[in-house]
Amino acid sequence: MEIKYRFWFEDSQGKYLFGEGLYLLLKYVDETHNLSIAVKKMKMSYRNGWGKIREVEERLGEKIVETKRGGSIPGETRLTEFGRKLVQDYERYMEVFDYYSKRPYKIPSLTVDGIINEGKSILLIKRGRDPFRGLYALPGGFVEYGETVESAIEREILEETGLSVKIRRILGIYSSPDRDPRGHTVSIVYILERTGGTPKAGDDAEELKFFDLDNLPELAFDHRKIIDDFLNLFNNKA
């Protein structure tokens, strides 16, 4: 038995934008600089190929090819910078799909969580989604492909709390396979310093609140242990 897969890009309304067929067409355009030759390689009509390109350009609001109608090479067609980036993005995800489909074992997902404490209080969010919907947790989330963990924690904090932060240090890395019921996740936990913004719940947070460190609510995941480690770190320094 062999795993097969196909994937494509959709817009925010779930409408098809870009997939394998158009990717191959644009690759042939990039190789030949000629749309007529490219559509012949795809075994489609010139009208059909040009129509597919125009349809995607209209949905994206960007040109993906440009054609010269004169000069030494009349009818020369090349990818625009945006079109080349679209091809590269598709190839990048194609490599990821291919890599994971051929791996003989599973790997954990990578997440980040942040500790923002002010005095004797700590900022927590009330989760608006499962798992642990309705319980409080440290703000954080999954690291996106192509993103550094440092950028991920800053982005997640801004999305969930409306605050800008800078990293003070790493508290620790938490990797227990059963820490998240959705699957094995490894979290890098940062101690952060608030640098701007106004606290406001966003993303999947129902609300956010600073809690006294001596009077914490029931917490999701292993965040009670994380906060205990944070308290022990600074108690030992005192």
DSSP string, 12-76: TTS-EEE-HHHHHHHHHHHHHS-HHHHHHHTT--HHHHHHHHHHHHHHHTS--EEE--SSSSTT-
Q: Could you tell me if residue 67 is inside a domain?
A: yes
Q: Could you tell me if residue 159 is inside a domain?
A: yes
Same domain, 122 and 32: no
Domain end residue (candidates: 80, 102, 124): 102
Q: Could you tell me if residue 1 is inside a domain?
A: no
The domain that holds 194 is classified in CATH as 3.90.79.10
Question: For residue 116, which amino acid is it?
Answer: I
Same domain, 20 and 35: yes
Same domain, 136 and 180: yes
Q: Could you tell me if residue 4 is inside a domain?
A: no
Q: Which domain holds residue 202?
A: 109-237
Q: Could you tell me if residue 174 is inside a domain?
A: yes
Same domain, 113 and 205: yes
Domain end residue (candidates: 102, 129, 156): 102
SS (H, E, C) 106-173: CCCEEEEEEEEEECCEEEEEEECCCCCCCCEECCEEECCCCCCHHHHHHHHHHHHHCEEEEEEEEEEE
Same domain, 66 and 37: yes
Q: Could you tell me if residue 125 is inside a domain?
A: yes
Same domain, 86 and 115: no
By annotation, the residues acting in catalysis are 207
Same domain, 75 and 140: no
Which phi and psi (to 5°) does residue 192 adopt?
Answer: -120, 160
CB 121 within 8 A of CB 170: no
Domain end residue (candidates: 52, 79, 102): 102
d(CA 69, CA 102): 45
What is the pLDDT tens value at each position of the chain, 238 positions in all?
555 666 678 777 777 778 888 899 999 999 999 999 999 999 999 999 999 999 889 988 899 999 876 545 456 899 999 999 999 988 888 887 777 667 667 789 999 999 999 999 999 999 998 999 999 999 999 999 889 999 999 999 999 999 999 999 999 999 999 999 989 999 999 999 999 999 999 877 889 999 999 999 999 999 999 999 999 998 876 5
DSSP state of 215: S
Residue 202 pairs in a beta bridge with none
Number of domains in the chain: 2
Q: Could you tell me if residue 87 is inside a domain?
A: yes
Same domain, 83 and 162: no
DSSP state of 203: T
Same domain, 158 and 140: yes
